[in-house]
Amino acid sequence: MIAKSSPILVLFLAAFGAPQSIPAQKPERPPNFVIIFADDLGYGDLGCYGHPTIRTPNLDRMAAEGLRFTDFYSAASVCTPSRAALMTGRYPVRSGMASAKRRVLFPDSKGGLPAGEITLAEGLKTKGYATGCFGKWHLGHLPQFLPTANGFDTYFGIPYSNDMDAIKGSDSGSLEPKTGDYRPPLLRDAREIERGPDQTRITRRYTEEALAFIEAHRDEPFFVYLPHSMPHVPLFRSEPFVGRSPRGLYGDVLAEIDWSVGRILDTLRDTGLVENTLVFFTSDNGPWLIMDLAGGSAGLLREGKGSTWEGGMREPGIAWWPGRIKPGRVTSELACTMDLYSTCLTLAGAKVPDDRPVDGLDLSPLLFGDSDTKSPRESLIYYRGTEIYAARKGAYKAHFITRAGYGQAAPEAHDPPLLFNLENDPSETIDVSAKHPDVLAEIVRMVAAHGKTVEEVPLQLEIR
């Protein structure tokens, strides 16, 4: 410290004025977040994840400029619980947003995300973020459950799945679906502005809303949540994308989502926000395989949407933040959507709630690290409804119960559980439970410890 009477200080004051007149350094602006969430997109559906005929140049470039995950998971195999986990950083069983009886919310549902949950948007609001949600919400369509009641300043979108409110005789898996067959509401904030919107324009409209929001809030920290209605069936795309893909309608739809990603990244570049924005792309659950050509592909993974085999929950995951994330990295470290909650809150300087169990972990060391950086996540629990069907620890995954994602097949319990090494057998074909009883015992212990942290709560999906 220089004493008050110091001649150096006197000289300094004479030359430059009193220190008070030097403007206080502006606190560094926290980063913006953009989460782009596809619906029912499979692990094998992007160019950069090996699809031979679906072209996704913008997502491929995003991956080349950022970090691509090979082992990124959603926290459930169907829409509503998966979205609840993303928004709360918690396994959906904790918020009551999971059920075996009704696996998602429907237009006659009276439940939704409980007010006591602290959403990512609510957490970011404590740090002054502008928050916008543009797309499919599916965490309750009654006013008290909408994005505008959950920390978002604004909302534009279809509040549940785009195949709901269908007229009789409609065929959502058709390769020539009619948008007029579906009459879901389109909301602006909490107000219905259209009924049965033209779904051929829905991807474009969500994108335009998100872009306008970014432009309007370029001078303050923002969070854009862009959960596309597509490529959930019925599949629709706008005119410029018709007949674009050798993969057919599904490929056309992905071409439009890829275009949307390109527009978002271009706008961040044009507005000079590129080095202060984390963009993350993933999907809510695996491909809806029973939709045949209208459904996606899980690539080399087993099964799809609705199941706790890898195809149901392992998803493409791409993180992009030029200047912070080293380009061209690929990681096989474990991570999941719940981690985005804790990561974004931590990067924003906001508090991760400590009055309840939060399952998300801060991924920033992994995001900003090198090719050999480890993930803080070592395990994952696979729920179907409120029941634990499987669990992964490191390379190994144990199945306690298996069941096809859809159809009449009954659940099959396994004692001893099936055990697969996902590193050398990602397709889950070779049961190694007999060889590794120690690994199985460890996973069983881990699941028991997890189970002790789960409290019984009202099941929101069963309220109607």
Interface contacts to Mg ion, rule CB under 5 A: 39-40, 79, 284-285
Residue number, 38 or 63, with CB nearest to Mg ion: 38
Q: Which residues pair with 198 in a beta bridge?
A: none
Q: Is 138 a catalytic residue?
A: yes
Q: Is 79 a catalytic residue?
A: yes
Neighbouring residues of 402: CB distance < 8 A, sequence distance ≥ 6: 307, 308, 309, 389, 390, 411, 412, 414, 418
Per the CB < 8 A criterion, the answer to whether 202 and 262 are in contact is no
HEC string for 285-327? CCCCHHHHHHCCCCCCCCCCCCCCCHHHHEEEEEEECCCCCCC
Tokens read off for 293? 């050509």
Residue number, 100 or 432, with CB nearest to Mg ion: 100
Query: Diameter of the chain by CA atoms?
Result: 90
Of 51, 138, 228, 399, the active-site residue reads 138
Residue number, 217 or 232, with CB nearest to Mg ion: 232
Least Å distance between CB 62 and Mg ion?
21
Q: How many helices (H) and strands (E) does the chain have?
A: 11, 14
Residue number, 277 or 297, with CB nearest to Mg ion: 297
- Which regions of 206-363 does DSSP assign to beta strands (E)? 222-227, 277-283, 314-320, 329-336
Nearest residue to Mg ion, using CB? 79
Least Å distance between CB 82 and Mg ion?
7
Residue number, 86 or 211, with CB nearest to Mg ion: 86
Closest CA to 69 of 274, 371, 323: 371
Pairing between strand 32-38 and 222-227?
Answer: parallel
Least Å distance between CB 381 and Mg ion?
19
Least Å distance between CB 353 and Mg ion?
26
Least Å distance between CB 40 and Mg ion?
4
* Residues noted as catalytic: 79, 138
